[in-house]
Amino acid sequence: MSILVDAGTRLLVQGITGREGAFHTRQMLDYGTQVVAGVTPGKGGQVVEGVPVYDDVRTAVERTGANTSIIYVPAAFAVDAILEAADAGIALIVCITEGVPLWDAMRVMRYLEDKPVRLLGPNCPGIITPGASKVGIMPGYIHRPGKVGVVSRSGTLTYEVVWALTRAGLGQSTCLGIGGDALNGISFVDVLRLFEQDPQTEAIVLIGEIGGNAEEQAAAFIADHVNKPVVALVAGRTAPPGRRMGHAGAIIAGSSGTASHKIEALREVGVLVADQPDQIPELLHTVL
């Protein structure tokens, strides 16, 4: 089992004719992902890396049965791409695009509230179920199939932690980055719920960072609803208050959003918190 993507995922690439879209389409195909369609308005009829291109998402879905979309379009067009995918019946939308304005993200979240669609991102590295499907920009070779679920706000830290897990002989069920912006679609709580229900996932790694209260919300959910062991890492212990650190969501405002507060909240509910990425495999070995 896995969460959100598997060998049956039929992927549509929005922005497939662009440089990034074409490059990562090849990477996903090489991994074994079923990339069944691409969409770029005005370029329907073309073929990119053997994948047919359509002018709009609805036509692509009707002709190929695509159920998942990944978005590689500039920030100015990302919102329209998300809304088009949702209206066409796509069940999972993965938005790689960074720099989406907060106001636009708010509009998207409000629009998707009552629709049967999940949005991963924006500004995220995507999702991978090792050995089955890669949807995003993550390096596939560092992952191995296994029983550890990984969810993160940081793309780079995800790669570092996954590589440490793989070297330690700890494979992964599914790994995903929810994005580092102040407002995202799928949350820590959403992913924790899915991992808790997934029979393959026996332990969970949660990678957080400063800013917001997503980690505190995760801690409260873990206390009441998660029975599987959770190991965490929170980046940004030395970050100065009031200064943005890399991501739009990684900023400490006043006394809230600090790494120390997040770590305290997680430890209070029994989560093992690592000081650095290479400690995570050691902590997992104590609970598996």
139-287 maps to which CATH number? Answer: 3.40.50.261
Furthest-apart CA atoms within the chain: distance in Å: 56
Are 40 and 72 within 8 A, CB to CB?
no
Write the pLDDT tens digit of every residue in 211-230: 889 999 999 999 999 999 99
**What is the number of other CB atoms lying within 10 angstroms of the CB of residue 42?**
8
Write the pLDDT tens digit of every residue in 261-283: 999 999 999 999 999 999 999 99
> Residues spanned by CATH 3.40.50.261 within the chain?
139-287
Told to judge if 225 belongs to the known catalytic residues of this protein, a careful annotator would answer no
Q: Output the six-digit token pair for 100.
A: 């989406």
**What is the number of other CB atoms lying within 10 angstroms of the CB of residue 191?**
24
In whole angstroms, what is the distance from residue 94 CA to residue 136 CA? 8
Residue 242 has pLDDT above 80, yes or no: no
pLDDT at 212: 87
- Angle at which helices 102-112 and 75-87 cross, to 10°: 0
**What is the number of other CB atoms lying within 10 angstroms of the CB of residue 38?**
29
pLDDT at 250: 47
CATH number for the 10-120 domain, one of 3.40.190.10, 3.30.830.10, 3.30.70.3000, 3.40.50.720?
3.40.50.720
> Residues spanned by CATH 3.40.50.720 within the chain?
10-120
Q: What angle do CA 150, 154, 157 make, to 5 degrees?
A: 70
Which residue is associated with the tokens 């801690």? 219
**pTM exceeds 0.85 for this model:** yes
In whole angstroms, what is the distance from residue 270 CA to residue 273 CA? 9
Are 248 and 202 within 8 A, CB to CB?
no
What does pLDDT average to over the chain?
93
Selected catalytic residue, list 24, 247, 261, 285: 247
212: left (phi over 0), alpha (psi -120 to 50) or beta: left
Write the pLDDT tens digit of every residue in 80-114: 999 999 999 999 999 999 999 999 999 999 999 99
Share of the chain above pLDDT 90, in %: 86
Q: What is the mean pLDDT of residues 151-172?
A: 95
- Give the contacts of 150 (CB within 8 A, at least 6 positions apart): 158, 161, 162, 165, 172, 174, 175, 176, 204, 205, 207
Write the pLDDT tens digit of every residue in 49-82: 999 999 999 999 999 999 999 999 999 999 999 9
9-23, 142-156, 204-218, 235-249: the lowest-pLDDT one: 235-249
- Angle at which helices 259-268 and 214-225 cross, to 10°: 0
